[in-house]
């Protein structure tokens, strides 16, 4: 059976070049980089180089890149770390209703610890209202955390403008750029953000490695205390192979970013156009223009997302509904609710996220299979019965 | 995550459709919860001679509907009352814990259809004592 | 030049069997385990199996094993997680002066957050006084965190007795078993601990993976919030390859634990005996009997540890002084200070930690080189001059 | 972490040892800090004709002692006063930031030895104005 993977926004396979780069660091160059002897010096050098590479890809300095164990850890660290460091200055944080759970659940935790959090509403495409943002900033606001692009609906948010507003009031800005990295060129200087989260496994690097960019001089406490690793800010023996893999993946991603984005956009637009043409009763979620190059998110009315996913899986297509990370839950995605969908419609969402290994044939295969699957499920649906009955 | 039995009933559901001149129709669940089951029955001499369903919902909602119809088809109303959600889940070789509510829904859909039949024909079943489809709620 | 690695307590190379087991999980079985489709089911199954394996090795249930990004994360999580969950019950924590920095610095952080911490003294071999422990327990004590074995001096602490004392007062016990794992059989039921930290890279598994054992029913908050991974307690897309590697390493370690420990002890005892015989003015640190099978820690008076390490490195021997993780610092190890050494003597410490890949020849090589290196440095030392001058 | 120059002076230190009938002896640092440097000099006509050292300390402490002795051997006392810690570190192609105090120690050891020479011979050097070895402290 043909197998088509269209869930790159959830995770990506490690590229061969990346794995190849990692291999020597498991058993050969394995020394603890904090040590004195020469084994360790090789590890240390490799990590220094990796830090340099990752820094360069986002126009940061090496000393501003701190490796973590995941994108989630980077998000948790940014928010809790600033909250803890600045709690005497204020206890108010601003974020949006469409953030990743790594941001939202961290904010909810802080609320339980006595912080106040404003969750900004978004419009039907997922944009926050900048006036709303400005009005939400208070004397005691210490951090604004708004994602660079949403993982479910693909909408790209105007971080630079957000930073401008925040800077007028001297408030720190964190952005979760996990989905943007490798798809749109990130320039931390141009953006002006103070903190920015990255994750390796979304850009064909290994899972279990992320990074937090911390602009020089930003006050932040640690999340993981212990040894003096990561310039004394993040303890734990360095995941050398993982870090090397992250750097290689980052290098490849930025090298080919134009080509990659152009290809993905082409496939994305074909998918959206053809689905729109051939399947009625649908809704495209997320901004049609300001959207991640590989993101397609569509609600198919009258049917339910998981049934759709299972059906696609039966013909070899891997996709997701809502967000992969929350699929333990039965509630429809908080993002789809935030953009104003009814439960009924939100339940029928499908995210197809395109990546480097997809071909035009993959897209054609989806376009061949999807209409009949949707039709089959609709034919089973009492909601659809009402609609066609009404004709 | 699902048993082969579930996948079988999901991919080849039995008794899908509607019965135009059904003697009994029962619909439970709502779109907010993500599951709606609608059951149609032909009933002759207290025997469910035909049953069909339509379901909006996840894989296990569809599979439980399918197997439930299979389990009651040709059975008497009395026997249909004995269809518990456990029995439905067991017949499918189990359901993931978060999906157990689907089997509850199937049980309720059957009951609701018979309730509808009872109402229309002014019949009394002790098994329906205290049962009111309007009281059913989305429990998750 | 001969190369002899004797810093296994800092980190170990990944074993070939382990790496082999990991390889399919980078690029082939890479699906996000939280997803619905079959790609993901394979990942999910692999992780479930890994969790089972790791659980079995310490006599826990699979649902009590939570994978983390390091041993340090496990320590931070255990302590902060319990502190946060039980802060309304009390704000007092008991630990010892010889804990790993992942425990100590976390406790210091909690002190800044308004908790009170008792740091128990230890005797000259690194043991806490159990009466002292019992007397330190207060009404508001919520957690006792005492390491199972010390990473520097190798002393093994009586965790079972510690738990007995704690349980009489209904206080939770966490133990950092990072150094014990794979060296002494751990049985969480027999020990009775509530929380126990592990790390993969000390047992020939990959770096950047650890685990926290959380006994069923233990109240603990998350450290990393976000997606529903790790039974909703630790967010972040699972490091599948890392987890698989951890499990394989754990399996191998426990399978061969007797043989492994016997071999290490033999090499350890030879090292200690011969050094004691051939080099004067030394002090063995840590308990001579209740000590990790691979640990040798000796102070060479009148010389300084780093100079010793550099000299050993020049002849191909990799070792450590104080603890690898703190070698960013110039102060002598807190552990050596806690067992009552003077700064002067503590500065001259050397840790040789033996592992699976060491042979008798390695030990002979060290025994050949070490005396002349120590002598050369002593001949340069004004402190030694005073000593021999005094003869 | 160390330059080749440092490693060279560490592994083959120049001028190690003591001078039994030294004209000047200076010792700085203490065991608590982990570094002690002791310098011995033979001085003839204001010229340091011989110099030896003993050091308890890390690799860079040994290397800085070694290069410092090389830099002042055969020099006048005046010239020796001009030996700054910077000059010592530079001569070693740099030192890691945490090790810069070693170069300070080397500078102080030289000064302390000359101070000892001045005391013994009742000499005055303006460079020693305000300098007192007993005031030196472990700065890290
Ligand atoms: C006793 C002890 N605890 C915790 C750790 C930290 O483990 P990791 O390096 O995986 O963070 C180590 C080793 O570094 C250790 O020896
Ligand atoms: C926007 C966003 N933030 C954070 C994360 C978390 O990254 P990780 O899985 O590395 O923890 C993800 C993906 O899961 C994401 O899409």
Statement to judge: residues C64 and C153 lie in one domain: yes
Among C255, C278, C301, residue at a domain's last position? C255
Query: What CATH code is carried by the domain that includes residue A134?
Result: 3.40.640.10
A199 lines ligand 2 (CB under 6 A): yes
Torsion sign over Cα B85, B90, B96, B102: negative
Strand order across the C172-176 sheet = C65-68, C210-214, C195-199, C172-176, C141-145, C92-96, C116-120
User: Coil, helix or strand for A143?
Assistant: strand
Q: Is D58 a catalytic residue?
A: no
pLDDT surpassing 50 at residue C328: no
Question: What does the pLDDT look like over A49-62, one tens digit per residue?
Answer: 999 999 999 999 99
If one looks up domain D4-128 in CATH, what number appears?
A: 3.90.1010.10
Confidence of residue C324 (pLDDT cuts 50, 70, 90): very low
Of A31-45, A80-94, C375-389, highest mean pLDDT: A80-94
Rounded to whole angstroms, the Cα distance separating C341 from C129 reads 18
Calculate Rg over the CA atoms of chain A.
22
Statement to judge: residues C226 and C341 lie in one domain: no
Best CA proximity match to C78, nearest among C235, C221, C227: C221
Rounded to whole angstroms, the Cα distance separating A315 from A370 reads 10
**What pLDDT, on the 0 to 100 scale, is given for residue B34?**
83
Residue A127 placed within a domain: yes
Question: What does the pLDDT look like over A292-314, one tens digit per residue?
Answer: 999 999 999 999 999 999 999 99
Find the residue in D nearest to A33 (Cα): D1
Statement to judge: residues C264 and C221 lie in one domain: no
Identify which of C304, C379, C381 has the shortest CB distance to residue D58. C304
Question: What does the pLDDT look like over A133-184, one tens digit per residue?
Answer: 999 999 999 999 999 999 999 999 999 999 999 999 999 999 999 999 999 9
The full length of chain B comes to: 140
Burial class (CB in 10 A: 0-12, 13-18, 19+), B114: buried
| Cα distances (angstroms) measured from residue C191 to each of C35, C157, C159, C188, C195 | 37, 12, 7, 5, 11
**What pLDDT, on the 0 to 100 scale, is given for residue A91?**
98
**What pLDDT, on the 0 to 100 scale, is given for residue C379?**
96
The Cα of C249 is separated from the nearest Cα of chain B by a number of Å equal to 27
**What pLDDT, on the 0 to 100 scale, is given for residue B33?**
80
Residues 51-70 of D with CB under 8 A from A: none
Rounded to whole angstroms, the Cα distance separating A287 from A126 reads 7
Residue D1: its chain A contacts at CB < 8 A? 36, 41, 44
Residue A3 placed within a domain: no
Confidence of residue D140 (pLDDT cuts 50, 70, 90): very low
Best CA proximity match to B33, nearest among B98, B94, B78, B96: B98
**What pLDDT, on the 0 to 100 scale, is given for residue A321?**
87
Among C232, C255, C278, residue at a domain's last position? C255
Give DSSP secondary structure letters for C187-245. -HHHH--SEEEEEGGGTTS-TT-EEEEE-TT-----SS-SSSHHHHTS-S---HHHHHH
Task: Give chain C's largest Cα–Cα span.
Answer: 79
Residues 6+ apart with CB under 8 A from C359: none
The stretch C57-63 carries a mean pLDDT of 98
Locate the ligand 1 atom nearest the alpha carbon of residue C99 and give its number.
1
Residues 269-308 of C with CB under 8 A from A: 306
Which residue's C-alpha comes closest to atom 13 of ligand 2?
A: A10
Best CA proximity match to D7, nearest among A39, C313, A40: C313
Q: Which of B12, B31, B35 to mutate to test the interface with A (most CBs of A within 10 A)?
A: B31
Residue C99 placed within a domain: yes
Residue contacts between C and D (CB atoms, under 8 Å): 64
D114 neighbors D75 (Cβ within 8 angstroms): no
Statement to judge: residues A118 and A233 lie in one domain: yes
The stretch A104-128 carries a mean pLDDT of 98
Lowest mean pLDDT among A273-282, C26-35, C144-153, C237-246: C26-35
Statement to judge: residues C273 and C380 lie in one domain: yes
Rounded to whole angstroms, the Cα distance separating A19 from A26 reads 11
**What pLDDT, on the 0 to 100 scale, is given for residue D138?**
59
Residue C211 placed within a domain: yes
What is the Cβ-side half-sphere exposure of residue B110, based on CA atoms within 13 angstroms? 31
The stretch B66-85 carries a mean pLDDT of 96
Helix, strand, coil % over all residues of chain C, rounded to 5? 45, 15, 40
Residues 6+ apart with CB under 8 A from C341: C283, C285, C299, C332
The Cα of B115 is separated from the nearest Cα of chain A by a number of Å equal to 19
| Cα distances (angstroms) measured from residue A62 to each of A38, A47, A332, D98 | 23, 11, 40, 19
A117 neighbors A110 (Cβ within 8 angstroms): yes
Best CA proximity match to C97, nearest among C67, C118, C71: C118
Asked whether at least 3 C-beta pairs link C and A within 8 Å, the reply is: yes
Lowest mean pLDDT among C39-48, C376-385, D7-16: C39-48
Confidence of residue D105 (pLDDT cuts 50, 70, 90): very high
A324 lines ligand 2 (CB under 6 A): no
Give DSSP secondary structure letters for A294-343. TEEEEEETTS-HHHHHHHHHHTTEE-BSS-GGGTTS-SPPHHHHHTT--H
Statement to judge: residues A122 and A84 lie in one domain: yes
Instruction: Supply the angle between the helices A305-314 and B4-11 in degrees, to the nearest 10.
Output: 100
- Specify the number of domains making up chain A: 2
Identify which of C305, C379, C382 has the shortest CB distance to residue D27. C382
The stretch D50-59 carries a mean pLDDT of 96
D89 neighbors D48 (Cβ within 8 angstroms): no
Query: What CATH code is carried by the domain that includes residue A343?
Result: 3.90.1150.10
Residue B1: its chain C contacts at CB < 8 A? 36, 41, 44
Interchain contact, A344 vs B35, CB within 8 Å? no
User: Coil, helix or strand for C352?
Assistant: strand
Q: Which of D102, D104, D105, D110 is catalytic?
A: D102
Looking at every residue in chain A, the average pLDDT score rounds to 95
Q: Is B138 a catalytic residue?
A: no
A363 neighbors A180 (Cβ within 8 angstroms): no
Ligand closest to Cα of C79 equals: 1
Q: Is C104 left (phi over 0), alpha (psi -120 to 50) or beta?
A: alpha
Q: Hey, what are A235's tokens? A: 């303890």
User: The tokens 């590890």 sit on which residue?
Assistant: A43
Confidence of residue D5 (pLDDT cuts 50, 70, 90): very high
Interchain contact, D35 vs C304, CB within 8 Å? yes
The stretch B20-45 carries a mean pLDDT of 93
Best CA proximity match to D64, nearest among D33, D43, D40, D37: D37
Statement to judge: residues A124 and A243 lie in one domain: yes
Torsion sign over Cα B55, B59, B62, B65: negative
Looking at every residue in chain B, the average pLDDT score rounds to 93
Confidence of residue C330 (pLDDT cuts 50, 70, 90): low
Lowest mean pLDDT among A97-101, C334-338, C383-387: C383-387
Confidence of residue C40 (pLDDT cuts 50, 70, 90): confident
Instruction: Supply the angle between the helices A240-255 and A38-57 in degrees, to the nearest 10.
Output: 30
Statement to judge: residues A190 and A44 lie in one domain: yes
Neighbour-count burial for C184-206, b at 16+ CB within 10 Å, e otherwise: bebebeebbbbbbbbbbbbbbbb
Rounded to whole angstroms, the Cα distance separating C8 from C275 reads 19
The full length of chain A comes to: 391
Pairing of strands A4-5, A317-318: parallel
A173 neighbors A193 (Cβ within 8 angstroms): yes
Residue A223 placed within a domain: yes
The Cα of B107 is separated from the nearest Cα of chain A by a number of Å equal to 18
Residue C9 placed within a domain: no
**What pLDDT, on the 0 to 100 scale, is given for residue B46?**
94
Best CA proximity match to D139, nearest among D108, D116, D112: D108
Best CA proximity match to B63, nearest among B53, B74, B77: B53
A100 lines ligand 2 (CB under 6 A): yes
Looking at every residue in chain C, the average pLDDT score rounds to 95
User: The tokens 């039709």 sit on which residue?
Assistant: A375
pLDDT surpassing 50 at residue C73: yes
The stretch A17-34 carries a mean pLDDT of 93
**What pLDDT, on the 0 to 100 scale, is given for residue D32?**
81
The stretch C115-133 carries a mean pLDDT of 98
Catalytic residues of C: 325
Chains touching A (at least 3 CB pairs under 8 A) are B, C, D
Give DSSP secondary structure letters for A278-295. H--SEEE-S-SSSB-TTE
Residue contacts between B and C (CB atoms, under 8 Å): 3
Give DSSP secondary structure letters for A28-83. TS---TTSSSHHHHHHHHHHHHHHHHHHHHTT--GGGEEEES-HHHHHHHHHHHHH
| Cα distances (angstroms) measured from residue A53 to each of A60, A191, C176, C208 | 10, 19, 35, 20
Statement to judge: residues C240 and C266 lie in one domain: no
Give DSSP secondary structure letters for B31-91. TTTTEEEEEEEEEETTEEEEEEEEEES-HHHHHHHHHHHHHHTT-BHHHHHT--HHHHHHH
Statement to judge: residues C101 and C247 lie in one domain: yes
Statement to judge: residues C274 and C246 lie in one domain: no
Q: How far is the CA of A216 from the centre of ligand 1 (A)?
A: 28
Q: Hey, what are A321's tokens? A: 């509904």
Confidence of residue A116 (pLDDT cuts 50, 70, 90): very high
Rounded to whole angstroms, the Cα distance separating A251 from A53 reads 7
Hey, where are the domains in chain D? 4-128
Instruction: Supply the angle between the helices C101-112 and C71-86 in degrees, to the nearest 10.
Output: 30
The Cα of A382 is separated from the nearest Cα of chain B by a number of Å equal to 5
**What pLDDT, on the 0 to 100 scale, is given for residue C31?**
87
**What pLDDT, on the 0 to 100 scale, is given for residue A330?**
62
Confidence of residue C125 (pLDDT cuts 50, 70, 90): very high
pLDDT surpassing 60 at residue B136: yes
Rounded to whole angstroms, the Cα distance separating A222 from A216 reads 15
Among A255, A276, A296, residue at a domain's last position? A255
Residue C8 placed within a domain: no
Interchain contact, D57 vs C304, CB within 8 Å? yes
A106 lines ligand 2 (CB under 6 A): no
Q: Hey, what are C49's tokens? A: 């199996």
Asked if C7 has any chain A CB less than 8 Å from its own CB, the reply is yes
Rounded to whole angstroms, the Cα distance separating B121 from B119 reads 5
Percent of chain D with pLDDT over 70: 97
B11 neighbors A309 (Cβ within 8 angstroms): no
Identify which of A32, A225, A325 has the shortest CB distance to residue C226. A325
pLDDT surpassing 60 at residue A114: yes
Rounded to whole angstroms, the Cα distance separating A315 from A328 reads 23
Residue A2 placed within a domain: no
Residue B11: its chain A contacts at CB < 8 A? 311, 314
Question: What does the pLDDT look like over A344-378, one tens digit per residue?
Answer: 899 999 999 999 999 999 999 999 999 999 999 99
Rounded to whole angstroms, the Cα distance separating A319 from A365 reads 13
**What pLDDT, on the 0 to 100 scale, is given for residue C343?**
87
**What pLDDT, on the 0 to 100 scale, is given for residue C391?**
47
Statement to judge: residues C201 and C54 lie in one domain: yes
Would you say the ipTM is above 0.95? no
Rounded to whole angstroms, the Cα distance separating B33 from A344 reads 8
Confidence of residue A327 (pLDDT cuts 50, 70, 90): very low
Q: How far is the CA of C161 from the centre of ligand 2 (A)?
A: 43
Question: Running DSSP on this structure, what letter comes out for residue D46?
Answer: T
Q: Which domain holds residue C234?
A: 16-255
Asked if B1 has any chain C CB less than 8 Å from its own CB, the reply is yes
Residues 121-180 of C with CB under 8 A from A: none
**What pLDDT, on the 0 to 100 scale, is given for residue A390?**
54
**More confident: B31 or D102:** D102
pLDDT surpassing 90 at residue A291: yes
Strand order across the A282-284 sheet = A282-284, A295-300, A349-353
Interchain contact, C382 vs D13, CB within 8 Å? no
Q: How far is the CA of B66 from the centre of ligand 1 (A)?
A: 53
């Amino acid at each position: 059976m043909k197998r088509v993977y269209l869930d790159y926004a959830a995770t990506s396979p490690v590229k061969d070049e990346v794995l190849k780069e990692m291999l020597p660091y498991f058993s050969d160059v394995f020394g603890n980089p904090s040590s004195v002897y020469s084994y360790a010096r090789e590890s240390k050098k490799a990590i220094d180089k990796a830090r340099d590479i990752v820094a360069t890809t986002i126009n940061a300095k090496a000393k501003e890149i701190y490796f973590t164990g995941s994108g989630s850890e980077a998000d948790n660290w940014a928010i809790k770390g600033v909250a803890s460091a600045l709690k005497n200055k204020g206890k108010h944080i601003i974020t949006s209703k469409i953030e990743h759970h790594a941001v939202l659940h961290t904010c909810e935790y802080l609320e339980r610890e006595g912080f106040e959090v404003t969750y900004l509403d978004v419009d039907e495409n997922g944009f926050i209202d900048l006036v709303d943002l400005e009005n939400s900033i208070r004397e005691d606001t210490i951090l604004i955390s708004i994602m660079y692009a949403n993982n479910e609906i693909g909408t790209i948010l105007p971080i630079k403008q957000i930073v401008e507003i925040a800077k007028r009031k001297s408030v720190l800005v964190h952005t979760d750029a996990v989905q943007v990295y490798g798809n749109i060129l990130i320039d931390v200087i141009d953006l002006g953000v103070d903190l920015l989260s990255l994750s390796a496994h979304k850009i064909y690097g290994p899972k279990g490695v992320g990074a937090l960019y911390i602009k020089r001089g930003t006050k932040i406490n640690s999340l993981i205390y212990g040894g003096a690793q990561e310039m004394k800010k993040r303890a734990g023996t360095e995941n050398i192979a993982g870090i090397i893999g992250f750097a290689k993946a980052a290098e490849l991603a930025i090298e080919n970013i134009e080509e990659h984005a152009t290809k993905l956009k082409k496939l994305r637009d074909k998918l959206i156009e053809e689905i729109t043409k051939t399947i009625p009763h649908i809704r495209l979620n997320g901004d049609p223009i300001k959207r991640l190059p590989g993101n397609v998110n569509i609600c198919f009315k009258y049917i339910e997302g998981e049934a759709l996913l299972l059906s696609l899986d039966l013909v070899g297509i891997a996709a997701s509904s809502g967000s992969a990370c929350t699929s333990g839950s039965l509630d429809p995605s908080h993002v789809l609710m935030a953009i104003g969908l009814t439960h009924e419609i939100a339940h029928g969402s499908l995210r197809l996220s395109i990546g480097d290994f997809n071909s035009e044939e993959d897209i054609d295969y989806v376009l061949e299979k999807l209409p009949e699957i949707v039709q089959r499920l609709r034919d089973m649906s009492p909601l659809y019965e009402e609609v066609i009955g009404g004709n | 995550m699902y048993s082969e039995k579930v996948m079988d009933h999901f991919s080849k559901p039995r008794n899908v459709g509607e019965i135009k001149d059904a003697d009994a129709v029962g619909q439970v669940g709502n779109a907010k919860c993500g599951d709606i089951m609608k059951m149609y029955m032909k009933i002759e001499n207290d025997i469910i001679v035909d049953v069909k369903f339509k379901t909006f919902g996840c894989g296990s909602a569809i599979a439980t509907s399918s197997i439930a119809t299979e389990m009651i088809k040709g059975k008497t109303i009395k026997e249909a009352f004995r269809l518990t959600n456990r029995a439905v889940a067991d017949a499918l070789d189990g359901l993931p814990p978060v999906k157990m509510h689907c089997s509850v829904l199937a049980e309720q859909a059957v009951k609701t259809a018979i309730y509808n039949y009872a109402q229309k024909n002014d019949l009394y079943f002790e098994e329906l004592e205290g049962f009111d489809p309007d009281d059913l709620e989305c429990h998750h």
